[in-house]
């Protein structure tokens, strides 16, 4: 067997592809489910926190800043392990699936809050004054005038951060979540061949390559001068 044939047999074994593609596909579906859940929860929580911070309540802002600093500083893997192995010690038992979703959502929320907050600060003070002069209250001004501009300013940096964090769904393999890498590792251990791992890599490309391309389009679409 030539070197090329050994390479093909190691990474593209047709027999193993036929055997394990249902498992890899199942793992891809789990990866997509978790990624979508993380995006919705993380961005939603980040936006809410940025809005609360705009009210400039000292105590509330201190808690938000602490939350953001902690979850931006902690590596996602460390957070996942702490939650999965530590929370049962205080009587809170969460499934591996929920732990992965929650950990990544909190990390994304911390970064999203900072991005949205930067967008809010980027809107000129004159926008606030003009809106308030028409009789709008603070909350109405924030929701109707400031936030639409801030969100649009936040889209480009938030897109890349979201893609980076959702790819961390692969960390679920550490705690047994049945996502695509976990399925591939199980198959590799049974088959003694790297083909399932290559299938998982192709699966990740199939999932995230379109997301990256969409992110690039979104960045170009929303790239504008600040209000």
Instruction: Say which CATH architecture domain 13-222 belongs to.
Output: Orthogonal Bundle (1.10)
Encode burial over 172-206: b for 16+ CB neighbours within 10 A, e otherwise: bbebebbbbbbbbebbbeebebbbbbbbbeebbee
Task: Single out the residue of 165, 154, 144 nearest to residue 117, CA to CA.
Answer: 154
Closest CA to 180 of 32, 9, 66: 32
Which of 158, 188, 184, 156 is CA-nearest to residue 170? 184
DSSP 177: -
Domain boundaries, the chain: 13-222
* Res 227: pLDDT: 42
Q: In the prediction, which pLDDT does 216 show?
A: 78
Residue 36: predicted pLDDT: 94
Report which DSSP code applies to 227: -
The model's pLDDT over 127-172, given as tens digits with 9 standing for 90+, comes to: 888 888 888 888 889 988 889 888 888 888 888 888 888 889 999 9
What's the pLDDT score for residue 26?
93
Amino acid 226: pLDDT: 44
**Cβ pair 194, 185 in contact under 8 A:** no
Q: What is the DSSP string of 55-68?
A: T--HHHHHHHHHHH
CA 100 to chain centre: 11
pLDDT in tens, the chain (227 residues): 677 888 888 899 999 999 999 999 999 999 999 999 999 999 999 999 999 999 989 999 999 999 999 999 999 999 999 999 999 988 899 999 999 999 999 999 999 999 999 989 988 888 888 888 888 888 889 988 889 888 888 888 888 888 888 889 999 989 989 899 999 999 999 888 999 999 999 998 888 888 888 877 877 776 655 44
Predicted TM-score of the model (pTM): 0.88
CB-based contact 207:129 (threshold 8 Å) = no
């Amino acid at each position: 067997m030539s070197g090329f044939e050994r390479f093909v047999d190691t990474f593209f074994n047709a027999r193993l592809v036929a055997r394990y593609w249902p498992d890899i596909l199942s793992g891809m579906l789990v990866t997509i489910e978790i990624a979508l859940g993380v995006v919705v929860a993380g961005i939603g929580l980040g936006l809410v926190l940025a809005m609360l911070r705009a009210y400039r309540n000292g105590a509330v802002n201190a808690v938000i800043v602490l939350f953001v600093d902690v979850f931006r500083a902690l590596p996602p893997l460390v957070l996942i392990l702490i939650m999965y192995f530590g929370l049962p010690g205080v009587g809170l038992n969460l499934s591996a699936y929920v732990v992965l979703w929650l950990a990544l959502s909190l990390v994304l929320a911390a970064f999203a809050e900072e991005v949205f907050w930067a967008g809010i600060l980027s809107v000129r003070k004159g926008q606030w004054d003009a809106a308030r002069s028409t009789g709008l209250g603070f909350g109405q001004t924030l929701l109707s005038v400031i936030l639409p501009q801030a969100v649009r300013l936040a889209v480009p940096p938030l897109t890349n951060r979201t893609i980076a964090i959702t790819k961390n769904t692969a960390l679920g393999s550490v705690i047994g979540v049945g996502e695509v890498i976990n399925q591939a590792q199980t198959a590799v251990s049974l088959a003694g061949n790297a083909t399932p791992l290559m299938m998982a890599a192709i699966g990740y490309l199939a999932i995230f390559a379109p997301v990256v391309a969409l992110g690039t389009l979104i960045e170009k679409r929303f790239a504008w001068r600040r209000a």
